[in-house]
Structure 1
């Protein structure tokens, strides 16, 4: 990605944390949609580039495909949104932000003339801003597909673009997945901390996590991070972020994200965000809270998800994190996400 788009470098930790290893073979059979499937078939069919399983803070399975290795960076797509959520929680703990119920325009008055006027931060975190932005990957005319040409062919800035969308309804009433909401959160972090999103990530997450490798964050032509996507990191470092949340914000001997923020971030607290209640077909019936997904049939498990098959899956009950990166197809559906979760849960049963 850093060869295609401009990018900022977030440097590896000076004291990298090396995960323990106790590797074993896995090729489970799992049931989905009334049929038995092989793990190997799903990995191939979904264009998997890497999969890593950590149980009890130890890597128990790690495999790479399509020429990928444990040293290669893999783009996150929307998995990056969950990193942004963590940074918002840290900014609140450091009193850069007073409260999630504050309107975004308290901190960014330039949004007064946009659809974000007086929208609470909480509703933006919950993808319920009420701002008109289409994110249908089946429609090449949707707003999400128009972002890239506007940024890189017409030389618009991400900040300018983010301010240009109107409201289409009252915030906090309806789940409407929108990468624009996360971009606004990235702009908020930059405003209240007086640091770039990359710099804040370096200081507050990457160094404390003990990241082993540099990470790239794609930007527009004006050096502004595309906060809604496009972190590029190794699976092992993605796993450390998953372990951070698995352990309620504590990792590598430090409370990095407040425990209360982790719990709040993964517990849907509005009727329209509960599992089974979200009403956008392309996202299935999963629940949602602060840039984290709660899959159907959740027993406390949850995940960060990116298009084309990117996952950081967290199961606190069984003390497991699964990271999967892929070069899947835009024709992927919510059913593919459900199938991936079925595989992850079956892997956990096998490990138990």
Structure 2
């Protein structure tokens, strides 16, 4: 018995030493996994959303050499009566409103400030759509009807083998992917752990082999489709997304700060939701889109692509919020009214007829509750009307 006790004690000591060695070896990865698990906690979410590069691997998007595009301040808006209550209820951290290109409202809440680079979440998808439009325009990518495997052959034999670029642009790939953020074992949360552990997003994507529907048959919002677009762009150009986005979109805009992407352990940008900018810079991007791709006299994104990508073309259910090429439109969208949207209340709302752009960042842990998205759009419309 005494011999067994000695053996057990030595075994436990070895296990403790091994665990300590493993922790020392994988300390950063373990820290990132822990960060993922507490990313949206009530006491940390606001701070986390403004400092994602302290918790995850990140890669810079060079801002270029252009001078900062000056903000011309217009007269303040008389905001809707319900605005302050909405800000509190929706845990808004920042709001910037442009009217006719003039800054008409800017405010920061919950201890944040204008220099915070905030996580885009799925607002970043609309940036990738704009980038793709420039590559289609110059012929680097031939057509949205091309197969994704034409540019990303690693997708042969996967759930994406039959999908076209348009299928993934419209979230109609048919891939089986669980996007439930509240389910620990969902695909979207597994993907988060892939990032935290420094593993490969491409390997994660090529590991998806099951489908729910034939590509192009029906609409289902699955964020991994946007990663596939990133694989297509990288395959077509042989260049990383941050470099391309900087060259074609970011540098011409004259942003205040260099954006950055959260990235995987192979330096691949998390294009489906990992872009980080100041709220003013989100608004600058939105203003360029609202101007049909024009910025300081230069055509940054083709006007025809903006028109095509912001019309409701996906097979969403009648009466629901509509979708185009990585852009959303209200169910009752007016002509030229569309928006980029990310979880927890990130928005770029564009109303071309009223010449209004609204950029909002939030830390809204109730963003999934019934009616929240509709109430946000109603508030944006009320703000837009208040600018007249």
- Normalising by the residue count of structure 1, what TM-score does the alignment of the two structures yield? 0.91
Q: Secondary structure, in 3 states, of the residue corresponding to 2:156?
A: helix
Residue in 2 that maps onto 1:67: 111
Residue in 2 that maps onto 1:4: 55
Shift of 1:23: 4.3
Q: Does 1:309 align with 2:361?
A: no
Q: Secondary structure, in 3 states, of the residue corresponding to 2:332?
A: coil
**Structure number having the greater strand percentage:** 1
Residue in 2 that maps onto 1:28: 80
After superposition, give the CA deviation of every residue in 1:257-278 in whole Å (9 maximum; x if it has no partner): 11110010011235x23752xx
Pair 1:246–1:275, CA change in 2 (3 A): farther
The number of residue pairs the alignment matches comes to 334
Question: Contact 1:312 / 1:322 at 8 angstroms: preserved in 2?
Answer: yes
Residue in 2 that maps onto 1:226: 270
* Structure 1 residues not aligned, in runs of 5+: 30-37, 277-284
C-alpha separation in 2, matches of 1:336 and 1:171? 30
Shift of 1:183: 0.5
Question: Contact 2:234 / 2:240 at 8 angstroms: preserved in 1?
Answer: yes
Question: Contact 1:18 / 1:212 at 8 angstroms: preserved in 2?
Answer: no
Pair 1:251–1:274, CA change in 2 (3 A): farther
Question: Contact 1:90 / 1:258 at 8 angstroms: preserved in 2?
Answer: yes
Residue in 2 that maps onto 1:318: 354
* Structure 2 residues not aligned, in runs of 5+: 1-51
C-alpha separation in 2, matches of 1:4 and 1:330? 23
Question: Contact 2:151 / 2:233 at 8 angstroms: preserved in 1?
Answer: no
C-alpha separation in 1, matches of 2:122 and 2:370? 15
Pair 1:92–1:216, CA change in 2 (3 A): same
C-alpha separation in 1, matches of 2:195 and 2:129? 24
Shift of 1:330: 5.4
Q: Secondary structure, in 3 states, of the residue corresponding to 2:53?
A: coil
Q: Secondary structure, in 3 states, of the residue corresponding to 1:113?
A: coil
Residue in 2 that maps onto 1:32: none
Shift of 1:209: 1.2
Shift of 1:171: 1.0
C-alpha separation in 2, matches of 1:158 and 1:138? 21
Comparing 9-18 and 251-260, the one that deviates more: 9-18
Q: Does 1:289 align with 2:324?
A: yes
1:41-190 correspondence to structure 2 within 5 Å: 41-153=85-197, 155-166=198-209, 167-190=211-234
Q: Which has the larger radius of gyration?
A: 2
C-alpha separation in 1, matches of 2:166 and 2:159? 15
C-alpha separation in 2, matches of 1:239 and 1:56? 12
Residue from 194, 197, 207 that aligns with 2:251: 207
C-alpha separation in 2, matches of 1:319 and 1:331? 27
